[in-house]
């Protein structure tokens, strides 16, 4: 489907500002790679994938190439996660209960500590293993120090001098309890405040083997704390370089796997076709008569990209593969999609409720907020498998009617009649259907608001909320801000690829990139490689079904084309007035 992108264009757009800072960034990311790989893998994994569209013949790759590509993906995903997720932290690995890994780990650890206990119980005691453990503790403590901690470094090096400790052990003068006391004190100095309690408990352990075992357990937690501290330290630097870094890494992946933009190409092409069809329908005059070519809509790459991002909020994650360039944010887009679905149901319920109730009831802020919270709580588990929307909406209908009746009674208004209650419950239950008119209106208005916000350049104040969405304005604006941040960052990284795809793949009726042709004069088409030009005519009063005309260029060309020169097979189907609207 797609040819390789013009690398010179992409590389020029993604050239790094500073090679030295980029290398430092890569070192920092790769240093945390091993500890974070599992967390990133679970957070960025995609659901079931379908067969990839074929764009180039398959080629064999070596294991080394696959490993190198996987490593590049992991590093890029790690850097992306640190930048996008401000709350990202490493957590200690907890193996599942009764799992094979956990049982093996417990058996091996028990054997090790039993062996140490036996050695220390000998007469005279054997300190070989104990001294090795002290050496590991020393290295761990030194790794926690910053360059300016000269005094602490000298203390650790002096007290935990392994050569001296070996001599003391050989002469029977080694006081292992004194070493443990110094280690615990140093751990208390270097640990985070959250670990003070764990370190304090170490002082109550009198037996050497259990004490060493707990020391290593607390040191593991301190390592996690230090890794999180390192992440928070490099985050500002990473945010400055992340766009160039991610683009560079993706370009490396693209060079190894040329088909890494197939799903992106498909995603953008579908968005451009859908948007053109949608705008064409809106541009048709009443009665479907031919309009002047000057009335035809014109698309821009920004509009197509914004529309493509909106399509991600209606994505079928189980059946369709996610575009490659947004794959690292799939879980975040999916979460926004679930929030919008819940917001649509919530908005629809409130809309029908306030429409049926007395005119002044919706203006009472306390009641509107209380009713919204009740419905939100009942919809909390909306996306769990055990959740049944119809049953919950029945409960919501009962609860809403009680609250409305109570409010009307307190206000001294006319009581809520039984007929109105029956109608309101029925309308609320009807929201369970995706084809419900009220639900579809709410969904359309929400997407329109998000599209307007993206087109506004994320400037403040936010666009005016469409009618009927005022009760959920705060929640909608929160989602819009999250969505815009994801979109904006993704554009900064991958916009050169998107522009190249749209520029090379779609030349749509001379209007796609803002051409001002208004008559049957030819429009220019330049290609530097073999390509196929697809001209898609939507269903219209002239043609009974959508039709695609394909013009093939088997070699580079630089010529003027005109829709008057379409193939003979189109004659009798399209008339001149129909063609003129697309020129």
The tens digit of pLDDT for each residue in 426-455 reads 999 999 999 999 999 999 999 999 999 988
Question: Region 214-234: what's the mean pLDDT?
Answer: 87
Question: Which uninterrupted H or E stretch holds 38?
Answer: helix 33-44
Cβ atoms 35, 525 nearer than 8 A:
no
Report in angstroms the alpha-carbon separations of 169 from 133, 177, 179, 553. 14, 13, 12, 84
- With cut-offs at 50, 70 and 90, classify the pLDDT of residue 544: very low
Nearest to 578 by CA among 302, 280, 361, 321: 280
Calculate mean pLDDT across residues 315-344: 92
Residue 198 has pLDDT above 60, yes or no: yes
- The average pLDDT across 174-186 equals 89
Phi, psi (rounded to 5 degrees) for 574:
-110, 135
pLDDT in tens, 381-412: 888 888 999 999 999 999 989 888 888 888 77
Whether 16 has a pLDDT exceeding 70, the answer reads no
According to the model, what pLDDT value does residue 259 have?
85
Cα distances from 291 to residues 274, 570, 583, in angstroms, run: 20, 21, 12
- Give the rounded percent of residues in the chain with a pLDDT score beyond 70: 68
Residues near 112 by beta carbon (within 8 Å), at least 6 away in sequence: none
Dihedral of the CA atoms 98, 100, 104, 110 (nearest 10)? 0
Of 5-14, 280-289, 413-422, 462-471, the least confident: 5-14
Tokens found for residue 130 = 């104990």
Residue ranges covered by each domain of the chain: 100-233, 311-492
Higher pLDDT, 279 or 68: 279
Q: What tokens does 250 get?
A: 């993706």
User: If we measure between CA atoms, which residue out of 75, 80, 15 comes closest to residue 496?
Assistant: 15
pLDDT tens-place string over residues 561-573:
434 344 434 434 4
Q: Quick count: other Cβ atoms within 10 Å of Cβ 264?
A: 21
439: tokens are: 């639900």
CB 191 within 8 A of CB 199: yes
Q: Is 126 left (phi over 0), alpha (psi -120 to 50) or beta?
A: beta
Q: Is 574 left (phi over 0), alpha (psi -120 to 50) or beta?
A: beta
- Average pLDDT of the segment spanning 176-194: 90
Backbone angles phi, psi at 437, to 5 degrees: -60, -40
The residue with greater pLDDT, 495 or 463, is: 495
DSSP state letter for 348: H
Which residue pairs, CB below 8 angstroms and at least 24 apart, start in 51-57? 52/259, 52/262, 52/263, 52/321, 53/1, 53/262, 53/263, 53/266, 54/1, 55/1, 55/2, 55/3, 55/258, 55/259, 55/262, 55/265, 56/258, 56/259
In 3D, which of 574, 343, 572, 569 has the Cα closest to residue 478?
A: 343
Contacts 24+ apart (CB under 8 A), 137-140: 137/183, 137/215, 137/216, 137/219, 138/162, 140/219, 140/222, 140/223
Mean pLDDT of 208-227: 90
Is the pLDDT at 5 greater than 70, yes or no? no
Is the model's pLDDT at 343 over the cut of 90? Answer: yes
Q: Residue 76 has what pLDDT?
A: 66
Percent of the chain at pLDDT > 90 equals: 24
For the chain, the average pLDDT equals 74
Q: How confident is the model at residue 556 (pLDDT cuts 50, 70, 90)?
A: very low
Residue identified by tokens 């005016």 is 464
- Answer for the pair 566, 520: CB distance below 8 angstroms, yes or no: no
Token pair recorded at residue 139: 């290295």
What is the CB neighbour count within 10 angstroms for residue 527?
Answer: 16
Q: By mean pLDDT, which of 63-67, 150-154, 202-206, 412-416 is the weakest? A: 63-67
- pLDDT band of 185, cuts 50, 70, 90: very high
Integer Cα distance of 552 and 282 in angstroms: 31
pLDDT in tens, 69-127: 555 556 667 777 777 776 777 787 788 888 888 889 889 988 989 888 888 888 888 88
Assess whether pLDDT exceeds 70 at residue 578: no
Q: pLDDT digits over 127-149, tens only?
A: 888 889 999 999 999 999 888 88
């Amino acid at each position: 489907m797609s040819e390789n992108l013009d690398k010179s264009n992409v590389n020029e757009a993604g050239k790094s500002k500073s090679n030295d800072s980029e290398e430092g960034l890569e070192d920092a990311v790769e240093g945390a790679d091993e500890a974070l790989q599992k967390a990133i893998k679970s957070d960025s994994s995609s659901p079931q994938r379908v067969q990839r569209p074929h764009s180039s013949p398959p080629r064999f790759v070596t294991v080394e190439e696959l490993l190198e590509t996987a490593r590049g993906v992991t590093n890029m995903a790690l850097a992306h996660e640190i930048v996008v997720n401000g709350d990202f932290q490493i957590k200690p690995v907890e193996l599942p209960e009764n799992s094979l890994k956990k049982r093996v780990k417990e058996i091996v650890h028990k054997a090790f500590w039993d062996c140490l206990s036996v050695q220390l119980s000998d007469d005279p005691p054997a300190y070989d293993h104990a001294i090795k453990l002290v050496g590991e503790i020393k290295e761990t403590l030194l790794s926690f120090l910053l360059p300016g901690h000269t005094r602490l470094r000298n203390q650790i090096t002096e007290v935990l001098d392994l050569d001296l400790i070996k001599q003391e052990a050989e002469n029977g003068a080694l006081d292992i309890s004194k070493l443990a006391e110094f280690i615990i004190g140093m751990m208390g100095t270097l640990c985070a405040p959250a670990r003070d309690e764990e370190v304090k408990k170490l002082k109550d352990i009198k037996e050497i083997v259990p004490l060493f075992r707990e020391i290593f357990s607390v040191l593991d937690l301190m390592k996690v704390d230090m890794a999180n501290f390192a992440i928070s330290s490099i985050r500002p630097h990473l945010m400055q370089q992340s766009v160039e870094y991610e683009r560079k890494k993706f370009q490396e992946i693209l060079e190894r796997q040329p088909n890494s933009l197939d799903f992106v190409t498909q995603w953008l092409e579908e968005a451009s076709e859908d948007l053109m069809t949608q705008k064409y329908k809106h541009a048709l005059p009443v009665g479907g008569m031919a309009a002047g070519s000057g009335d035809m809509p014109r698309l821009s790459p920004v509009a197509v990209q914004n529309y493509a991002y909106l399509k991600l909020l209606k994505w079928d994650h189980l059946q369709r593969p996610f575009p490659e360039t947004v794959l690292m944010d799939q879980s975040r887009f999916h979460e926004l999609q679930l929030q919008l679905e819940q917001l649509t149901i919530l908005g629809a319920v409130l809309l029908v409720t306030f429409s049926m109730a007395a005119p002044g009831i919706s203006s009472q802020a306390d009641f509107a907020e209380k009713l919204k919270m009740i419905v939100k709580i009942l919809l909390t588990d909306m996306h769990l498998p055990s959740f049944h929307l119809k049953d919950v909406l029945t409960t919501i209908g009962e609860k809403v009617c009680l609250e409305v009746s109570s409010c009307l009674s307190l206000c001294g208004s006319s009581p809520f009649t039984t007929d109105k209650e029956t109608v309101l419950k029925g309308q609320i239950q009807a929201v369970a259907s995706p084809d419900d008119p009220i639900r579809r209106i709410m969904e359309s208005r929400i997407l329109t608001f998000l599209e307007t916000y993206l087109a506004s350049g994320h400037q403040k104040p936010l666009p005016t909320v469409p009618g009927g969405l005022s009760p959920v304005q705060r929640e909608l604006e929160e989602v819009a801000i999250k969505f815009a941040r994801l979109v904006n960052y993704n554009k900064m990284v991958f916009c050169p690829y998107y522009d190249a795809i749209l520029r090379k793949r779609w030349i749509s009726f001379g209007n796609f990139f803002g051409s001002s042709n208004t008559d049957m004069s030819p429009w220019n088409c330049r290609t530097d490689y073999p390509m196929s030009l697809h001209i898609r005519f939507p269903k219209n009063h002239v043609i009974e079904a959508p039709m695609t005309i394909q013009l093939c260029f088997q070699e580079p060309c630089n010529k003027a084309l005109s829709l008057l020169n379409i193939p003979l097979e189109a004659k009798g189907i399209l008339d001149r007035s129909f063609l003129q609207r697309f020129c």
